Structure 1
Amino acid sequence: MKPVELKNGIYWVGAVDWAIRDFHGYETPHGTSYNNYLIDDEEPTLLDAVHHNFVDISIENISKIIDLKKIKHIVINHIENDHATGLEKILEMVPSANIYMTDRGKKGLNRFLDLSKYKVIVVKSGDTLKIGKRTLQFIETPMMHWPDSMFTYIKEDRVLISQDAFGQHIATVERFDDEFVNNRSMEELEDAVIDYYANILMPYGNVIKGKIEEIKMLGIEIEMIAPDHGVIWRSHIDEILYLYSEMVDAKAKLKAVIIYDTMWHSTEQMVFPIARGIENEGVPVKIIKLRATPKSVAVKEVWKSRGVIVGCPTLNNGVFPSVAEFLSYLKGLKPKNRLFAAFGSYGWSGEAVKEMYETAKAMKLEVFEPGIRVLYKPSEEDLAKCYEFGIAFGKALKEYHAKI
């Protein structure tokens, strides 16, 4: 794609990755983009450096605007591979450029690139850089979602370069939110935001909340938010800030998701009467089979739902592998304010349900106990018990939701 002007003299010079489907273990069925930005001012400045596989595209885009050798400053807001590994090739062409990053960014990036050959300037919150008509203000954002992270605010244009915050994994020809909404829908865009937040930023909700409050206290006016993935926000600023405020508080709808896997369909047969019981309590239910669904999609549904029920057969005295993988993935994301229950079938010992509850308690989730277990194939009596379990969970979920 060609460069796109955000505001007078500020350009998107990144690349779109239409083909990626696995982003360090997080499924990306819609691809992604690697966004970086060029400010054409008296001292031309590049913000971030894209993934090394796409750096030639970014260099080509920059070259359509200015001679790359004229770049005076390079700001690295985040040192993760998809934003910084293209830096080495860029520095081969502009070795005299000043590089700005946090202290932790310098220490981390030095493990991948010998920075001793370059002029690295460590910045902290409140530091500024005058590049001509514009002033850049740096705002450290440690653990959003790496320790090195920071925002860069272009004061005169009221543009916030937000690195991974407010992003989405979408490969699209639309560069701006209003273009995307006009061609698709706001619902689809919000769903992409939730998917991204749930699978990447969920553990850092309190940090993000504090940083949003800090930005408000600093009196920073925002007319545009330019993340390092996905579309750029210029028309729905209030909507994305409100959505983030909802997400960082772990708000969810009164609904339940049943996430399960099965060996010989015994656990699967338990799913449907449980779902009917919950629905009969007036609570919507979504059902997800793990081996038929990316775990990132399952996590997104956990994020949307106040109640989470996990079904699993016992295999080798433990949790079935696909369910164990999902729970391990979920545990790392540190969900909160969810009601958890478990069920499953077994042939000999039946430890899976107990182990799932132990994992939920380790996550500090509210648990609805006891779970329900069935020996081998569920009988009509077992299925009736599953239905009653669903009713009981639905009632408990409504009470729990009312308290949150």
Structure 2
Amino acid sequence: MKSEELKSGIYWVGAIDWAIRDFHGYETPRGTSYNNYLIDDKEPTLLDAVHHDFVHISIDNISRIISPEKIKHIIINHIENDHASGVEKILEIVPEANIYITERGKKGLNRFIDLSKYKVNIVKSGDKLKIGQRTLLFIETPMMHWPDSMFTYIQEEKVLISQDAFGQHIASIERFDDEFAKNNSMEDLEDAVIDYYANILMPYGSVIKGKVEEIKKLGIKINMIAPDHGVIWRSHIDKVLNLYSSMVDAKAQLSNVIVYDTMWHSTEQMVFPIAKGLEDEGVPVKIIKLRSTPKSVVIKEIWKARGVIIGSPTLNNGLFPSVAELLTYLKGLRLKNRLFGAFGSYGWSGEAVKEMYDVAKAMKLETFEPGIKVLYKPSEEDLAKCYEFGKAFGKALKEYHAKI
């Protein structure tokens, strides 16, 4: 993909990764982009780099606008490898460039690059850099989602370079939100935002909420948000800001997702009467089999629903491995404001259901107990109990949802 002008003198010079499907353990079925930006001003400035495998593409895009040797400043908003691992190659071209980075960013990046050889400037919230006609304002955003993170705001054009916030893992020929929505749909774009937030930024919801409030207090106006992944927001800024507000408040639909895995189909047979009980109680249900579904999709669907019921057979006196992996991942994401239930089959001892509730309690989720477990293959009586469990859970879920 060639460079593209966002506003007069401000360019996207990133790269599209059409092939990536595993992003440090997070499935990316739509691929992704590595966005970085060039400001062609009196003192040309590069905002972020890209993944080292794609840095040659970014350098080529820069070369279409200016000679890369003319870059005077390099802003590093976030040091994660997909954004900063290409910096060293760029510094080989412009070793005299000024680097602007947070204190924590410098500490972290120094583990990868010997920064003692370069001109490093530490910045904090409120610091500004005049590069000619434009002024850059730095806003620290620690733990959104790494401790080093910051935003850069281009004051004159009201453009917010937002690193990972407001991003999506989308490989696309469209650079802007309105273009993507026209050629695909707005629902697809919103789904990608939710997917990204649920799998990456969910643990930092309270931090994000506080930072959004801080930006509002600064009184800055935003007419473009340029993240480091996915499309750039120029037409639906209020929509994405409102979407983030709802996500950080852990809002969810009155619906339920049943996530399960199974060995010999006994646990699977329990799923359908539970779902029927929920539906008869007026609660929409989505059913997901773990080993048939990317984990990132499972997390997104759990995020959307107010209720989650997880099923696991007992294996070796514990959880089935795929269920244990999901719960470990979910615990790290710090899901909240959900009603949780559990079920499963067993042959000998049946510890899986208790273990699932223990994880839910450690996450401080509201639990609906007791769960339901059956010995070996469920009987007709067991299936009837599953149906009643689903109905009772649905009733409790409606009451819980009304309180949140």
Give TM-score scaled by structure 1 length. 1.00
Give how far 1:372 is off: 0.1
The question of 1:80 aligning with 2:80 is answered yes
After TM superposition, the structure 1 = structure 2 runs for residues 260-299 of structure 1, keeping only pairs within 5 Å, are 260-299=260-299
Work out the CA distance in 2 between the residues paired with 1:170 and 1:276.
36
Q: Tell me what 1:46 maps to.
A: 46
Q: Describe the superposition over 1:52-89 as per-residue Cα deviations: whole angstroms up to 9, x where unpaired.
A: 00000000000000000000000000000000000000
Aligned to 1:380: 380
Counterpart of 1:101 in structure 2 is 101
Match of 1:213 in 2: 213
Amino acid at match of 1:403: K
In structure 2, how many angstroms separate the alpha carbons of the residues matched to 1:156 and 1:367? Answer: 51
SS of alignment partner, residue 230 of structure 1: coil
List per-residue Cα deviations over 1:221-271 (Å, max 9, x = no partner).
Answer: 000000000000000000000000000000000000000000000000000
Give 1:67's aligned residue. Answer: 67
Matched, 1:36 2:36: yes
Provide the residue aligned with 1:147 in structure 2.
147
Show the counterpart of 2:354. 354
1:342 Cα deviation after fit: 0.2
1:13-24 equivalences under 5 Å are 13-24=13-24
Query: Partner of 1:249 in structure 2?
Result: 249
CA distance in 2, matches of 1:169, 1:395: 37
Letter in 1 for 2:96: S
Structure 2: how far apart are the matches of 1:113 and 1:217?
Answer: 36
In structure 1, what is the Cα distance between the partners aligned to 2:113 and 2:361? 41
Matched, 1:316 2:316: yes
Letter of the structure 1 residue corresponding to residue 377 of structure 2: K
Offset, 1:340: 0.3
- Give the alignment of 1:155-174 within 5 angstroms: 155-174=155-174
Shift of 1:35: 0.1
Q: How big is the shift at 1:294?
A: 0.8
Aligned residue identity for 2:185: S
Aligned equivalent of 2:204 = 204
Question: Residues of 2 paired with 1:206 and 1:133: CA distance?
Answer: 36
- Aligned-partner Cα distance in 2 for 1:3–1:305: 39
RMSD: 0.3
| Cα distance, 1:390 vs structure 2 | 0.1
Question: Partners in 2 of 1:339 and 1:113 — Cα distance?
Answer: 46
Give the Cα–Cα distance (whole angstroms) in 2 for the partners of residues 152 and 79 of structure 1.
14
Match of 2:123 in 1: 123
Alignment partners' CA distance in 1, 2:365 and 2:57: 45
Q: In structure 1, how many angstroms separate the alpha carbons of the residues matched to 2:298 and 2:140? A: 32
AA of the residue aligned to 1:278: L
Instruction: Mark the runs of 5 or more structure 1 residues left unpaired by the alignment.
Output: none
Distance apart, 1:380 and its partner CA: 0.4
Please give the alpha-carbon distance, in whole angstroms, between the structure 1 residues aligned to 2:396 and 2:113.
54
Q: How many residues align?
A: 404
TM-score by length of 2: 1.00
Structure-2 separation of matches of 1:217 and 1:115: 34
Q: What residue number does 1:55 align with?
A: 55
In the alignment, the residues of structure 2 paired with residue 296 and residue 184 of structure 1 have an alpha-carbon distance, to the nearest angstrom, of: 21
In 2, the alpha carbon distance for the partners of 1:386 and 1:47 equals: 55
Structure 2 gap segments, 5+ residues each: none
Query: How far 1:346 sits from its partner (Å)?
Result: 0.1
1:229 aligns with 2:212: no
Q: Deviations over 1:89-119 (max 9, x none)?
A: 0000000000000000000000011000000
Residue 278 of structure 1, CA deviation: 0.3
Tell me how far apart the structure 1 counterparts of residues 246 and 355 of structure 2 sit (CA, whole Å). 31
Instruction: Give the structure 2 partner of residue 7 of structure 1.
Output: 7
- AA paired with 2:219? G
Quote the sequence identity (%): 83
- SS of the residue corresponding to residue 174 of structure 1 reads coil
Please give the alpha-carbon distance, in whole angstroms, between the structure 2 residues aligned to 1:99 and 1:58: 18
Letter in 2 for 1:74: I
Q: Do residues 369 (structure 1) and 369 (structure 2) align?
A: yes
Give CA deviations for 1:333-375 in whole Å, capped at 9, x if unaligned: 0000000000000000000000000000001100000000000
Letter in 2 for 1:176: F
Q: Aligned partners of 2:220 and 2:365: how far apart in 1?
A: 36
Q: Which residue of 1 aligns with 2:303?
A: 303
Secondary structure in structure 1 of the residue aligned to 2:230? coil
CA distance in 1, matches of 2:101, 2:308: 41
d(CA) in 2 for partners of 1:50, 1:139: 21
CA shift digits 1:306-342 (9 cap, x unpaired): 0000000000000000000000000000000000000
Distance 1:302 1:161 in 2: 30
Shift of 1:29: 0.3
Match of 2:340 in 1: 340
Question: How far is the alpha carbon of 1:207 from its aligned partner?
Answer: 0.4
Output the amino acid matched with 2:238.
D
